A and B are shown apart, each in its own frame.
Chain A
């Protein structure tokens, strides 16, 4: 099955700095890679996703890059704000109602 690894497990940045979270996956058939933000005690919410036919996607301060050859994808948050503090999960899926495999999560702390 798929194995998704996520690093780092915790990340502390100063407000305004950038944050980068990296994930690797093992199954080359995976073709959909979402990122979820989860605040304490709340549900994961999708913040950005990327499919295997593109290498980069950006939405305001958030961007995701995908390297299919190396089987890794990364989340980039620029101009971080205290409200960005949360746990971020990457995931991989082959689509077509296959299960989503989650990374172990990164706890991001943005210091004001």
Chain B
């Protein structure tokens, strides 16, 4: 069965650089969530989209932006990267009305040097 696809899986950037993460949700899933997970921490909600519109916003820095495109894939853009942005970034998708299950991608590990 198709799963949530994230790319790249690993990314290394320097401070103040820009990074873009991509997420391809499961087909027919119309809601996408982005989470940031630091080492040993729980996933922190960043932002979500429903039908290509932003539906909710969490602890996403102003340096970050995201959008969902017409094919439902989503991109998380991170600018002026800081050391503290190093984390595992998960994209998750579900179908609304929600069956409930949130399917996570494998994650994109961002390392900022």
Measured CB to CB, the residues of A under 8 A from B are: 32, 34, 36, 41-46, 49, 51, 89, 91, 93, 95-105
Contacts and interface: CB of A to CB of B under 8 A. Distances in A.
A103 B42 contact: yes
B45 A99 contact: yes
8 contacts: A34-B102, A43-B106, A49-B101, A95-B97, A96-B97, A97-B98, A100-B33, A100-B45
B107 interface: yes
Interface residues of B, number: 25
B64 interface: no
B55 interface: yes
Interface of B: 31, 33, 41-43, 45, 48, 50, 55-56, 58, 88, 90, 94, 96-98, 100-107
A98 B31 CA distance: 10
A107 to B, nearest CB: 9
Given A97-B50, A99-B33, A99-B56, A42 B96 contact: no
Contact of A89 (B31, B43, B96, B98): B43
